[in-house]
Structure 1
């Protein structure tokens, strides 16, 4: 008889398992599907469906889902709770300590290549790190970590990337910005920023590359449920890869593509297959920028402090530079808390490859583990600041110490591009604060009321007006 694979608190001496994990009732499973799983699928897992996203936001599924998860925890205890997921049985993690067990656990046990990711990435890029396991994942992770300088506070090309972010943001701040900028205007500039940083200056105006990738991500939302479109999908992917190959062949040395030559690689690395996921992550940068600008525009005290920090950093250093970016900890904290409040990826999914122990219970291998990251980051039963804009928690150490608050993931599956994404989002927002004030239309937020569980950006417009000088 083989020994069960166990991952728990280091040094713990748990007794032999004596109970089974609690299971959700049929009614609870139905409510989970309606409040948590189906809304996420309807909005779009890989690319947002704007019209459906607006309809879903009106139903407030996040608020109803949070109430349901709290009720499940009160009824079933700390859990996890066995539920019915979109692809079969799953363990729903309701306790913050269990979140750390999953995120801090080895990816050999809590694997990231779930069925949903594999089916979705089959349309976009089947060789992506996020759809890999075992030796393939090890090789591709080493390549991604090397190119993205994972774990470094600032990427080696950080100064160049900050200049690009400032240029693209500044291009939006003309006279028309006072009437309000739409999400689409911000997206176009952020995508251009990504093409310049990832593929080089030659790709700056390659709108067709972004259009092809967007079409593939829209198809990935269906998780392989439209096999009749497989031929069209292959044609789109082939066209995108051909355009991408131009920039990888004659790589700009001041881009991520220019770092391919020195990064570790092997027969299973597939360097060209890693680029698409970086552009997918650029969608998270766009979401972080929109959310941060919206919060600063509706929270005068935080806006004042962030703008003052930017001005002081600019006085001490040239603009924009890496030392200046490093002198903006409060603005970076604003970006992090904006992503905490409305995470672009509200649910983290893993699959277990062996038996796992949860205190006095053992779960079999081959089962999905669902971490509702959005719920844990807004759990009012656990966090005093759950529903308010609280960038100070990222400076006093409380948010970084809380594994249940992980907008960029943690542990072995931590996002390799966390630092690059945070640098680009912070640099983009900083340009808005250098010489003007912000306003928003289409949403009603403020420090005097709890922030909503979901931010409906369908009608959002972000206004910018230069400071009036005497």
Structure 2
């Protein structure tokens, strides 16, 4: 097995029989770098850089990236195509079945601890599950699965969490909401939800903890390149961990920290080292909430169905209850559909630890694999509802069966907190649908036009007006 030069001057993966994977040309690599990899990096991998994110959205980066992917597939076939990634030769997965092979494959072969994750998380939480491999990953995965109740439709603390979500969402629905809430206000409410649910009610107002974490995530965007800031980064992390320890030492039994004692652990688990990643996951949760509110407010038929479902669930089971939440499958599907349209992680990256076979070609171990999740979720050549709001596809199983649609990843690397994230996001959105009218400004969405690949959340305003009379409700 070798990496060999072809007449085009590029590199190919080749097996003993001479069958080679397709390879991007120099021009294609340049277009990918400038039009796809570089904007993603500049926007921020671990924490969005607001100004750059707004610029990338306005330049329609997602659409341009999808066009590049389709052009590569037209020229090279299903692939995967060998491209120059940020850390060496990378297999760019352009076929849905190949995406399933990667995501369904064992993490011992398709490892998640890529260079980007390890170097980025070194600044924030070097012991995080997502930057682990082998025995460390096994131990940390077992701990995360146990605390987050992975695979359970409702977390064991779901009743309390739903009440917390309801309280924090209602706190936003005052006179300010009638004038229109900026996305940052929704973010602040969800940050309080995270601190209360993860660390306990005592952490509700600990803005300093969140500020320190944001600074560390901003530094993680540089992936260790700013070595002169290493000492400062260590000080920031030490201060954040000290604040976190206050809540974990005398943990609130109604928080995730209160579940640490009963969760499986060993010498390599590093329980306190998993918490920062849960808070990091609040960013995509916040985005999903804002996006779902924007979609419902601009799609009247979906809005009416979701609002009626919330009313029926409240009548039958009571608001902020676990049975009530479980009786809202359509609203959950709306949240999941928002994450399909605008995936929280646009690219799922892996590194191979052994040879991998791709039809008749074999790639050596030690190469990177990139599944462009955002492209696959919006691949109009394969997905008939690519650019429209279609929550029903999650209810009938269409989206669930499509492994290339993977906003929370799949297989052994599937997000341990997916169900918990859906619970928090659905509960928050449900509060906006109780007893009031929802509207948004600053975005152009609707059922009669294809949905954009991105929109500038900084311009979005979420409006809420309570019903004036019982008849209106």
TM class by shorter-chain length? over 0.9
Runs of 4+ in 1 over 2 A off after TM superposition: 15-18
* C-alpha distance in structure 2 between counterparts of 1:176 and 1:306, whole Å: 24
Residue 335 of structure 1 corresponds to: 335
Task: Check whether the contact 1:441–1:460 (CA below 8 A) recurs between aligned residues.
Answer: yes
- Does structure 1 conserve the Cα–Cα contact (< 8 Å) formed by 2:199 and 2:248? yes
Equivalent residue, structure 1, for 2:241: 241
Residues in 1 aligned to 2:398 and 2:34: alpha-carbon distance in whole angstroms: 33
Contact 1:342/1:455, CA 8 A, preserved across alignment? no
SS in 1 for 2:21: coil
Three-state SS of the structure 1 residue aligned to 2:275 is: helix
Other-structure match for 2:105: 105
Q: Secondary structure at the match of 1:440?
A: strand
The CA RMSD over aligned residues, in Å, is 1.1
**8 Å CA contact retained: 1:78, 1:94:** yes
Query: Shift of residue 458 of structure 1?
Result: 2.1
> d(CA) in 2 for partners of 1:436 and 1:35?
42
Q: Name the counterpart of 1:379.
A: 379
Instruction: Name the SS of the counterpart of 1:458 in structure 2.
Output: helix
| Paired position in structure 2 for 1:443 | 443
Runs (5+) with no aligned partner, structure 2: 2-14
**Aligned pair count?**
457
2:173 — aligned with what?
173
Give 1:180-195 correspondences, 5 Å limit. Answer: 180-195=180-195
Structure 1, residues 155-180: CA drift from partner, whole Å, max 9, x if none?
Answer: 10011111111111000000110111
1:18 Cα shift? 4.8
Deviation of 1:401 (Å): 0.4
Distance 2:205 2:291 in 1: 26
Q: Is the 8 A contact 2:103 2:413 kept in 1?
A: yes
1:90, 1:370 within 8 Å by CA — same for their partners in 2?
A: yes
* Higher alpha-carbon deviation: 54-63 or 118-127: 54-63
Take 1:193 and 1:348, find their aligned partners in 2: how far apart are those partners?
27
Q: For 1:18 and 1:156, locate their aligned partners in 2 and report how far apart those are by CA, in whole Å.
A: 55
Structure 1: runs of 5+ lacking an equivalent: 2-14
* 1:384-437 residue CA offsets vs partner (Å, 9 max, x unmatched): 100000000000110000000111111000000001000000000000001111
Matches of 1:387 and 1:108 in 2, distance apart? 35
Query: How big is the shift at 1:55?
Result: 1.1
- For the residue of structure 2 that corresponds to 1:55, the secondary structure is helix
Task: State whether structure 2 residue 264 is matched by structure 1 residue 264.
Answer: yes
Q: Which position in structure 2 is the counterpart of 1:29?
A: 29
Shift in CA distance, 466/100, structure 1 to aligned 2, threshold 3 Å:
same
1:91-240 matches, cutoff 5 A: 91-240=91-240
Is the Cα contact below 8 Å between 1:17 and 1:360 reproduced in 2?
Answer: no
Does the CA contact (< 8 Å) of 1:16 and 1:360 recur in 2?
A: no
1:57 and 1:319 map into 2 onto residues whose CA distance is: 37
Instruction: Give me the whole-angstrom Cα distance separating, in 2, the residues matched to 1:225 and 1:39.
Output: 18
Preserved contact between residue 99 and residue 403 of structure 1 (Cα < 8 Å): yes
Quick one: structure 1 residues 467 and 110, their matched pair in 2 at CA, closer, same or farther if it must change by over 3 Å?
Answer: same
- 1:398 to 2:401 alignment: no
1:39·1:56 contact (CA, 8 Å) conserved in 2? yes
User: Which residue of the partner structure matches residue 83 of structure 2?
Assistant: 83
Contact 1:35 1:62 in 2 (8 A): no
Q: Give me the whole-angstrom Cα distance separating, in 2, the residues matched to 1:456 and 1:101.
A: 34
The offset of 1:17, in angstroms, is: 5.8
Match of 2:4 in 1: none
Cα separation, 2, equivalents of 1:63 and 1:184: 26
Q: How far apart are the structure 2 equivalents of 1:459 and 1:19?
A: 51
